[in-house]
Amino acid sequence: MKETDKSLDPQLWHACAGGMVQMPPVNSKVFYFPQGHAEHAQSNVDFGAARIPIPPLILCCVAAVKFLADPETDEVFARLRLVPLRNSELDYEDSDANGEAEGSEKPASFAKTLTQSDANNGGGFSVPRYCAETIFPRLDYSAEPPVQTVIAKDVHGEVWKFRHIYRGTPRRHLLTTGWSSFVNQKKLVAGDSIVFLRAENGDLCVGIRRAKRG
Amino acid sequence: MKETDKSLDPQLWHACAGGMVQMPPVNSKVFYFPQGHAEHAQSNVDFGAARIPIPPLILCCVAAVKFLADPETDEVFARLRLVPLRNSELDYEDSDANGEAEGSEKPASFAKTLTQSDANNGGGFSVPRYCAETIFPRLDYSAEPPVQTVIAKDVHGEVWKFRHIYRGTPRRHLLTTGWSSFVNQKKLVAGDSIVFLRAENGDLCVGIRRAKRG
DNA sequence: TTGTCGGCCGATCGCCGACAA
DNA sequence: TTGTCGGCGATCGGCCGACAA
């Protein structure tokens, strides 16, 4: 798996990973399970030429956390640096600092699973009202129809433009021009999810979360 | 470079490689130039942990020849197995058996460099009369217009279908439906060449030869 | 509120003969 | 004989409101 070594915005990363995913903060203590690592890793895990038996779990200190995204699929993952602790330091109390320390009031974000109509070639994207009103830049509703160009950066910092229009009877928010190009280049299908997030600096970001295959 | 280990039809291989390319027959003697090999190979050549100086040329016997094609680009190449001979066997006479031993009367083949019109999207392929009359299956000229579906296998054995029509004033042979798909999937551009060949078993084959890149 | 559908319009694809090199 | 061009008809992409869940 090719990857960039530059961590991406942790808030965008978390929005893409979903609410179920929590990462231990730096300097917290965690257990490392070698067997589980080997079973879940895509590539083989090299435990070196260890001739001593590998213990089932090893208490470690989290030395570093990198938030990364696959450059091909945009799927997010993290790389942790773990420093093993001596068993004498094993201390079940206070082992996880129970983080959220890193200035993390939740930023405004919204995720939607793509419908067949969203993913269909030649179609647009039905923007749920909540997303359009709280995440997107405010539309000028005095125009007829209200329309704007929405600019969003993906996990690689690449810029995408979408025509955002509020039309139809009853009125609804839609992304039209630019949407199908995004779907094709990201190879999105119905069931995948899209994430919109307004970063703290005001930038709009877009991420994706792919459906579990088979 | 990924590759299949299965040799392809030597006649198709030679047609794609072009008339300037000659391969030594199996059991003939050739000189191997390590320096030239290292300079021309795409990947690094491993001469092992040789601590003795490498001689500039080594007389070898050709033990095997494999005719191969890159699975991505269709470009043909060969892999030779060379067995070094002792210097005492060095014998300048009769060193190359001057091959063509392998039952090789030239099969009917034709190569054409693609014009801008051939490679243009939305266009067809102007078939030179000689190719249409001697390589392609015979058209039924009593039909109006004379038209048929030409089926050809590429170096991987994949089947391609082309609509072959004889029309216009003055009359000329053209490939229409199926052609632009072939151009796009093979990523052909003006200046590349296409090769048609009628194999000994009667099958029509198609190969490509890419222009030298700047 | 929003997922899906058919209508429709414009862009592009690709087949055609004209013409000339 | 065949390379290039403009014309044009068919197909497709994609924007639209209607309608119903």
Peptide bond into A145 cis (omega under 30): yes
Amino acid at A201: N
pLDDT tens digits for range B60-95: 999 999 999 999 999 999 999 999 987 655 555 554
B145: cis peptide before it, omega within 30°? yes
Q: What is the reported pLDDT for A212?
A: 84
> What pLDDT does residue B46 have?
72
Query: For position A101, what pLDDT does the model report?
Result: 45
Q: What pLDDT, on the 0 to 100 scale, is given for residue B88?
A: 59
CA B42 → C1' D9, Å?
49
- The separation, in Å, between residue A171 CA and nucleotide D18 C1' comes to 12
Closest Cα to residue A181, out of A158, A199, A204? A158
B115: nearest nucleotide, CA–C1' criterion:
D3
Cβ of B177 near strand D (under 7 Å)? The reply is no
Let me know: does B162 contact B178? Beta carbons within 8 Å.
yes
pLDDT-based confidence at B50, cuts 50/70/90?
low
Question: Is A11:A197 a contact under the CB 8 Å cutoff?
Answer: yes
pLDDT at B6 over 60: yes
Q: Distance (Å) from CA A186 to C1' D4?
A: 38
Q: CA–CA separation, B24 vs A166, rounded Å?
A: 71
pLDDT at A186 over 50: yes
Please name the residue that has the structure tokens 């490509």.
B208
Residue nearest to nucleotide C14 (CA to C1'): B122
Which residue is closest, via its CA, to the C1' of D15? A176
How many whole angstroms separate alpha carbon B28 and alpha carbon B64? 10
Q: Output phi, psi for B14, to 5 deg.
A: -65, -35
CA distance A41 to A28: 23
CA of A114 to C1' of C3 (A): 11
Mean pLDDT of A191-214: 90
Closest nucleotide to B171, Cα to C1' = D1
In the predicted model, what is the mean pLDDT of residues B107-115? 90
The confidence score (pLDDT) of residue B197 equals 94
Q: Residue B200 corresponds to which amino acid?
A: E
Give the C-alpha separation, A6 to B27, whole Å. Answer: 55
Q: What is the pLDDT of residue A172?
A: 95
Tokens 């009125």 belong to A171
Task: Give the residue, B89 or B195, on which the prediction is more confident.
Answer: B195
At B146-156, the pLDDT tens digits run: 999 999 999 99
Confidence of residue A53 (pLDDT cuts 50, 70, 90): confident
pLDDT over 70, % of chain A: 85
Show the DSSP H helices in chain B as ranges.
10-17, 34-40, 116-119, 129-134, 179-186
Rounded CA–C1' distance between B123 and D8, in angstroms: 15
Highest mean pLDDT among A40-44, A73-77, A119-123, B98-102: A73-77
Residues 7-46 of B with CB under 7 A from strand D: none
A167 is near strand D: CB distance < 7 Å = yes
Q: Is any atom of nucleic acid chain D found less than 7 Å from the CB of residue B74?
A: no
Q: For residue A82, what are the contacts with CB-CB under 8 A and spacing of at least 6?
A: A30, A32, A60, A61, A62, A63
Name the nearest CA neighbour of A9 among A66, A71, A63. Answer: A66
**Taking the C1' atom of D19, which residue's CA lies nearest?**
A169
pLDDT band, residue B101 (cuts 50/70/90): very low
Can you give the distance from the CA of residue A202 to the C1' of nucleotide C7 in angstroms?
40
Poorest-confidence range of A29-38, B108-117, B163-172?
A29-38
Residues B14-18: what's their mean pLDDT?
A: 91
Rounded Cα–Cα distance for residues B125 and A70 (Å): 41
Q: Considering chain A, what is the average pLDDT of its residues?
A: 85
At residue A3 the predicted structure's pLDDT band, cuts being 50, 70 and 90, is very low
Query: In this prediction, what percent of chain A has a pLDDT beyond 90?
Result: 62
**pLDDT for the residue numbered B166:** 96
pLDDT of residue A214: 62
Q: Per-residue pLDDT averaged across A66-77, rounded?
A: 93
Q: How long is the CA B125 to C1' C12 vector, in angstroms?
A: 19
Q: CA B119, C1' D20: Å apart?
A: 49
The pLDDT of A182-189, averaged and rounded, is: 93
| Distance, CA of B1 to CA of B42 (rounded, Å) | 9
| CA pair distance B98, B24, nearest whole angstrom | 8
The DSSP-derived string for A174-189 is: EE-TTHHHHHHHHT--
pLDDT at A105: 60
Report the distance from CA of residue A126 to the C1' of nucleotide D16 in Å, as an integer. 14
Rounded distance between C-alpha atoms, residue A26 and residue B95, angstroms: 71
* pLDDT at res. B123: 82
Q: Which tops the pLDDT comparison, A24 or A90?
A: A24
The pLDDT assigned to A93 comes to 52
Q: Strand C: list positions under 7 Å from protein Cβ.
A: 1-5, 13-20
| Cα–Cα dist B164/B167, whole Å | 10
- The residue whose CA lies nearest the C1' of nucleotide C15 is B176
Other CB atoms within a 10 A radius of the CB of residue B73 amount to 12
Torsion angle (degrees, nearest 10) of CA A162, A163, A164, A170 = -130
For chain B, give the mean pLDDT: 85
Q: Say how many C-beta atoms besides its own lie within 10 A of residue A68's C-beta.
A: 19
Backbone angles phi, psi at B106, to 5 degrees: -65, 125
Torsion of CA B168, B173, B178, B179, to 10 degrees: -100
What span, in angstroms and rounded, lies between the C-alpha atoms of B28 and B175?
Answer: 43
Query: B198: closest CA among B153, B159, B149?
Result: B153
